[in-house]
Amino acid sequence: MSASGTERTPVQVAVGVLVERDAQGREGRFLLTSRPEGKVYAGYWEFPGGKLEAGETVHEALARELWEELGIRIGASHPWRELVMDYPHARVHLHFHKVYDWTGAFEMREQQAMAWENLPVASHPVLPGTIPVLQWFAAERGFAGATHRD
| Stretch 11-37: mean pLDDT | 96
In a domain, 149, yes or no: no
Structural domain for 56, as ranges: 11-140
In a domain, 122, yes or no: yes
Could you report the per-residue pLDDT of 31-75, keeping only the tens digit for each?
999 999 999 999 999 999 999 999 999 999 999 999 999 999 999
The pLDDT of residue 5 is: 43
Cα–Cα dist 131/44, whole Å: 12
In a domain, 93, yes or no: yes
The pLDDT of residue 6 is: 52
In a domain, 4, yes or no: no
| Stretch 101-127: mean pLDDT | 97
Quick one: CA torsion of 42, 82, 140, 115, rounded to 10 degrees? -20
Residue 106: CATH number of its domain: 3.90.79.10
| Number of independent structural domains in the chain | 1
